[in-house]
Amino acid sequence: MDAKSKERFVHSVFESIAPKYDMMNDVLSFRRHKAWRKFTMRKMNVGSGDTAIDLCCGTGDWTVAIAQASGTGKVVGLDFSRNMLDHGRAKVDKLGLGGRIDLVQGNAMALPYEEDTFDYATIGFGLRNVPDIRQVLREMRRVVKPGGKVVCLELSKPTRQPLKAVYSFYFNRFLPVLGKLVAGRYEQYKWLPESLVAFPGRKELASIFRETGLQDVEDYGLTGGIAALHIGTKGSNGA
């Protein structure tokens, strides 16, 4: 699948699963995604008034968490799926955060913001779906301020047995069936394990962070390597 075909296919997947996206995240990860995000927020240590852009924000859970931690800072949630953003907007309005969160339809490959704009650029469970990982990381690095953080929380690949075998069976065989039974979507949830096949492992992704100019790269394996957190810093001189 070439980059354009992948982009169109992924867009159609997320447009179709938006109504049950939050519920399926809880079901498929056994609610572990919430613990992973809490760990990430502790490592980010968002300060009062900090600004952020959350790429591939989906229905906005992480966007909301960042805005709540910041207190007064402006936070942008960007996604290419209008249906996802519509569900996110309802969530933001219910929490009374509409004045501090902007939900924007856009492309993570070409962010519509000037360089040195945000304190943080984040992407949660979306990097494996983009056409060009390095281009997205370069864009994230571009729009954060010198000293700002680029943060990626993503599914990964356990390397130790027996978890590796159990995870492979669950993710490749059981997960798509569960997607069909609970959400009525088989092909869309079959895409999730397929999207991880060519995605770099934890240490390889850390190397890619460095290749794109990020410094002081940290990487953490979560729940035995099922997920991984990567944090890189833009040099204080913008380098």
Q: What is the pLDDT along the chain (239 residues), one digit of tens a residue?
A: 556 666 675 556 555 555 555 555 555 555 678 999 999 999 999 999 999 999 999 999 999 999 999 999 999 999 999 998 999 999 999 999 989 999 999 999 999 999 999 999 999 999 998 999 999 999 999 999 999 999 999 988 777 667 566 666 566 665 555 555 555 554 555 566 676 778 899 999 999 999 999 999 999 999 988 899 999 999 987 66
Write a three-state SS string for the chain.
CCHHHHHHHHHHHHHHHHHHHHHHHHHHHCCHHHHHHHHHHHHHCCCCCCCEEEECCCCCHHHHHHHHHHCCCCEEEEECCHHHHHHHHHHHHHCCCCCCEEEEECCCCCCCCCCCCEEEEEEECCHHHCCCHHHHHHHHHHHEEEEEEEEEEEECCCCCCCHHHHHHHHHHHHHHHHHHHHHCCCHHHHHHHHHHHCCCCHHHHHHHHHHCCCEEEEEEEEHHHCEEEEEEECCCCCC
Contact 133, 215 (CB under 8 A): no
